Structure 1
């Protein structure tokens, strides 16, 4: 099923998620020897020993390891100099990606479920290119599909395959599990060791009291990166007259010409956004909210540019 032709903006297949690897260079998610990412604070990972990538030579300082003295530069300058190395890093990066019926909707460039899948794929390829161990959990409906973090392309492909299958299986007739997000977070708490990075990609509307508590607990021993997904219609109703909604026998009518109704609806959307912002500030973690209204890479660039050195995450 996951290799079927996609419906652009509505569904994705495995081939498209694999192709996302070519777009990693368009946004600097993780640091390289030549450039530091604004998300470097998320990457104080457990080291595999002293780094092997040479960085630079500087004047010897008290406390430096004498084994790193550069004797050639020392002899030439007649002043002790020491070599510096880039840290060789390895950490598990765990992608929690929602693919539930609440995401099977979009009024912008794509469905929210497609945007979530694309974001997960991009981050996965970036992590693999940074030599990290990558794994994760695809959750939605009544099912969870987990891939244990490994430093291999095969592990990422298994995760993307599960993600594509879940995306292809979505339909408007599906019924979402209200606690699927909380269950996914509890599973992450069970399997992630201290120092891991959990990347949370979910519907903006998914956050509730229970899931917020789980995120607070998860943040005690892991780093978090929050990517709530939204659509313009999550935040504002158009003045389009009488709108009728139906779901499994239930019906609802809204008169969108009613200004007070539109204002109340907008206030609910703003409250959801504010809740994510408060949570991110409380936990001290980056918040990269994504909307179906704009192209994903552009949004990520904007977020990261806003977090350049001199600006707080």
Structure 2
């Protein structure tokens, strides 16, 4: 259990790292990737050559017997929501960090990226249920609050219900938002909830995994426990077929997640706990510009 002094120290470290990354790497990429994606209606004016015909207002045009175009303007501020899975499986980790540690750091960086661009940031921390809702706001203090909650909030339940988190997002967030879902996506029932959320919001999934999620070590007989159900079973990891089946199950699940996001019109990133997440995020931001 972290002491108050440890928490304050860790929050400060995350703020410093997030600000440094935001200033030197993400400011331009974040702005280019998301600014202009939220457009609000401004007015109608007479159609002129070169106007996009998709924006002709046919009702007004019929009324005045002359073509009129809708004009839109870039929304000056955006809202970023973090949907963060803090279920029991997030506590797993065998290399540099637990999945929860990586998710906390990525969440802090994303929150400060939004806030440094004068956008609002909020968060929904979930497991089987909603553990914490942080309404979107601006400002450094709010970024620090989100970071502190990501760092210290412990789930009351072990399981994962991504659909419930997505439904809660839709019910509490009226305007179109940028939504990052940070999870290992071990819940197999979220595809329909994702499809609904994807129609309203710009949803990006970040699938965080540990190397041992993908590959078993050759370590003989192992007693393994499902962190969320408590189910235990023995695995003979010295058997090649056992290790192969384990790895194939991981890749099959990853492919299913990818297809679910693609069908919903959303993006999905895969990040290992031993990987440089900065490069993955930067490449994603640049690819969206």
Q: Would you say 1:294 and 2:281 are equivalent positions?
A: no
Aligned twin of 1:93: 80
In terms of fraction of residues, the more helix-rich structure is 2
Q: Would you say 1:132 and 2:119 are equivalent positions?
A: yes
Unaligned ranges ≥5, structure 1: 7-11, 51-60, 65-85
| Counterpart Cα distance in 2 of 1:119 and 1:204 | 16
Residue deviations 1:239-267 (CA, integer Å, cap 9, x gap): 22111235798642211111111111111
Residue deviations 1:197-222 (CA, integer Å, cap 9, x gap): 2111112323x12x221111111111
Aligned twin of 2:253: 272
Residue deviations 1:262-295 (CA, integer Å, cap 9, x gap): 1111111001110121122222322222110212
Unaligned ranges ≥5, structure 2: 52-72
- Tell whether the 8 Å contact from 1:240 to 1:256 is kept in structure 2 after alignment: yes
Which moves more between the two structures, 277-286 or 220-229? 277-286
Aligned twin of 2:158: 176
Q: Would you say 1:243 and 2:230 are equivalent positions?
A: no
Deviation at 1:96, TM superposition (A): 0.7
CA distance 1:188–1:237, change in 2 (3 Å): same
| TM value normalised by structure 1 | 0.72
Pick one of 106, 123, 126 that aligns with 1:119: 106
- Tell whether the 8 Å contact from 2:99 to 2:208 is kept in structure 1 after alignment: yes
Pick one of 139, 142, 145 that aligns with 1:152: 139
Residue deviations 1:110-159 (CA, integer Å, cap 9, x gap): 11000101111111111111221111112236551111112233332222
- Tell whether the 8 Å contact from 2:130 to 2:165 is kept in structure 1 after alignment: no
Aligned twin of 1:13: 10
Q: Would you say 1:104 and 2:91 are equivalent positions?
A: yes
